[in-house]
């Protein structure tokens, strides 16, 4: 079987790595891929939004299955483009990817189907939003409606900050057209957990839980990023929480999408907050998380292609997901200055130390191959993932492996998985 993966970051490297273990797969292509992915797949120089080129390539190479991994092409209808040419593709169609593509849509869906989330109002003009703020309780959360690289959320402590936020989203268009509409919602407190799940339109199979670290600096300081590190499982995601989420959040979301005529097939990523009053949905994504995939996929024992095909064919109820009873920690090695301004093109050394290791992996996020050397080529450069019998061991292994890698400008958080210690105390 020939598989094409669309994307080129750490998530896609983790996906390609899982796909390469499938017995059915004979050849993997990745568009555009990166220097790490190139060790497992043939990289094709086509961008993720170039649907005509991607589908022509899939026809020409007789690709049996295409996996569309990033949010932008999914929300823009990549899966529909493949299907229109008679090709099989894994991921939600455009009418279902709206679950991530519009926060106003997802909030309205949750309200209509009683799925627990923060109280909110949607706005399509700044004047009404500013008026609403006058009587709102602070802190308050402002969200640009559309995709904004995970950065379209502003938490405002005071009324004047919130006013500035509304102006920057809706008038100055800080996040571009993503800010044509916005959501203003209640500020919640609690632990955050990510749960990724396979969905076939009616059945949903949640994977093991994970936790991300979105802020750039130690102690959750600094700007929001795409994610600076993850661990899995979350010690706070108890059986009781799982039971609640399956009953009141996961299945109801899948059923709600089906009832709306927007059958969802692919991955639903539930961003949850465990509040005093129970789990609440912070956000939905319509894809694997990055770097959540880097800690979840290495713990999965299933043949991922079999699971993806079951999603497309509506046969997920035949599958038993099986995760190792271990733990994983991923520390992102970034370029100093990320997420704002950083230099690229530095030589990376130490990558060979991961060769043939089966408990330590280095997933490439922003790398390129230049003059026979692997060089930095993005803000997030590498994800160092280690397994361990438990979270503490996995974290120790990950931070040891972080030291194997050197490049100018190397920057990482030192406190990925700090919550693991707090869980011991709780
Ligand atoms: P999102 O992209 O919607 O996940 O938001 C990014 C981050 O903002 C989340 O991971 C939370 O840390 C925070 N956040 C989002 N919504 C809320 C909320 N209603 N209350 C508190 N924090 C929130
Ligand atoms: N790590 C968060 C995301 O993929 O959206």
Residue with the smallest CA separation from ligand 2 atom 4 is 289
Q: Where in the chain is the domain with CATH 3.40.50.20?
A: 2-94
**Could you give the percent of the chain with pLDDT greater than 90?**
94
- Can you state the angle between helices 94-101 and 251-259, rounded to 10 degrees? 130
Q: Where in the chain is the domain with CATH 3.30.470.20?
A: 191-318
Give, for 269, the enclosing helix (H) or strand (E): strand 265-275
What's the gap in Å between 290 CA and the centre of ligand 2?
Answer: 5
Contacts 24+ apart (CB under 8 A), 317-325: 317/200, 317/203, 319/198, 319/205, 321/198, 321/205, 321/206, 321/207, 323/207, 323/208, 323/299, 324/299, 324/300, 324/387
Pocket residues: Cβ below 6 A from ligand 1: 118, 141, 150, 153, 155, 185-188, 192, 214, 271, 282-283
Residue range 366-390: average pLDDT?
A: 95
Whether pTM > 0.75 for this model: the answer is: yes
For the domain 2-94, what is the CATH code? 3.40.50.20
What's the gap in Å between 118 CA and the centre of ligand 1?
Answer: 10
395 alpha-carbon distance from chain centroid: 21
Substitution site in 15, 71, 75, 150 for ligand 2 pocket (most atoms within 8 Å of beta carbon): 150
CB atoms within 10 A of CB 277: 9
What's the gap in Å between 424 CA and the centre of ligand 1?
Answer: 25
For the domain 327-425, what is the CATH code? 3.90.600.10
On the question of pLDDT at 426 being above 60, the answer is no
Ligand 2 touching residue 229 (CB < 6 A): no
For the domain 119-186, what is the CATH code? 3.30.1490.20
- Tell me: the pLDDT tens digits for 392-405? 999 999 999 999 99
Nearest atom in ligand 1 to the alpha carbon of residue 185 is 19
Report yes or no: 50 and 331 within 8 Å, Cβ to Cβ.
no
Which is the CATH superfamily of the domain at 191-318?
ATP-grasp fold, B domain (3.30.470.20)
Ligand 2 touching residue 71 (CB < 6 A): no
On the question of pLDDT at 287 being above 90, the answer is yes
Torsion of CA 339, 288, 66, 301, to 10 degrees: 130
Contacts of 22 (CB under 8 A, 6+ apart): 1, 303, 304, 305, 306
Residue with the smallest CA separation from ligand 2 atom 3 is 289
Residue with the smallest CA separation from ligand 1 atom 18 is 187
**126 in helix, strand or coil?**
helix
Residue range 63-77: average pLDDT?
A: 98
Q: Where in the chain is the domain with CATH 3.90.600.10?
A: 327-425
- Tell me: the pLDDT tens digits for 152-196? 899 999 999 999 999 999 999 999 999 999 999 999 999 999 999
What's the gap in Å between 242 CA and the centre of ligand 1?
Answer: 20
């Amino acid at each position: 079987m020939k598989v094409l993966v669309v994307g080129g970051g750490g998530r896609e490297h983790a996906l390609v790595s899982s796909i390469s273990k499938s017995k059915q797969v004979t050849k993997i292509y990745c568009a555009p891929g990166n220097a790490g992915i190139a060790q497992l797949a043939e990289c094709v120089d086509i961008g993720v939004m170039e649907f005509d080129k991607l589908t022509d390539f899939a026809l020409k190479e007789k690709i049996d299955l295409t996996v569309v991994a990033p949010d932008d092409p999914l929300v823009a209808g990549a899966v529909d483009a493949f299907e229109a040419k008679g090709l099989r593709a894994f991921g939600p169609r455009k009418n279902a990817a709206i679950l991530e593509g519009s926060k106003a849509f997802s909030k309205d869906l949750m309200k209509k189907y009683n799925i627990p989330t923060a109280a909110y109002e949607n706005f399509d003009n700044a004047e009404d939003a500013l008026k609403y703020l006058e009587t709102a309780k602070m802190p308050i959360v402002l969200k640009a409606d559309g995709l904004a690289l995970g950065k379209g959320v502003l938490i405002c402590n005071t009324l004047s900050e919130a006013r500035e936020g509304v102006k920057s989203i809706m008038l100055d268009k800080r996040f571009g057209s993503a800010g044509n509409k916005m959501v203003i919602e209640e500020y919640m407190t609690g632990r955050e957990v990510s749960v990724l799940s396979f969905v076939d339109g009616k059945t949903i199979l949640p994977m093991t839980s994970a936790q991300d670290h979105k802020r750039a600096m130690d102690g959750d300081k600094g700007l929001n990023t795409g994610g600076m590190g993850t661990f899995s499982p979350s010690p706070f995601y108890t059986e009781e929480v799982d039971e609640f989420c399956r009953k009141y959040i996961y299945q109801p979301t899948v059923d709600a999408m089906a009832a709306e005529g927007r059958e969802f097939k692919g991955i639903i990523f539930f961003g949850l907050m465990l509040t005093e009053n129970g789990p609440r949905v912070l956000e939905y994504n319509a894809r694997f998380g990055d770097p959540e995939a880097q800690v979840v996929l290495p713990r999965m024992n299933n043949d991922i292609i079999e699971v993806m095909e079951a999603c497309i064919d509506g046969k997920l109820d035949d599958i038993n997901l099986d995760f190792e009873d271990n733990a994983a920690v991923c520390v992102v090695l970034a370029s100093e200055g990320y997420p704002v301004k950083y230099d690229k093109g530095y030589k990376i050394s130490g990558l060979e130390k991961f060769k043939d290791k089966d408990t330590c992996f280095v997933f490439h996020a922003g790398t390129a191959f230049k003059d026979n050397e692997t060089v930095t080529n993005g803000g997030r450069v590498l994800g160092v993932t280690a397994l361990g019998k438990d979270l503490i061991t996995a974290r120790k292994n990950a931070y040891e492996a972080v030291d194997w890698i050197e490049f100018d400008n190397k920057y990482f958080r030192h406190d990925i998985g700090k919550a693991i210690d707090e869980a011991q105390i709780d």
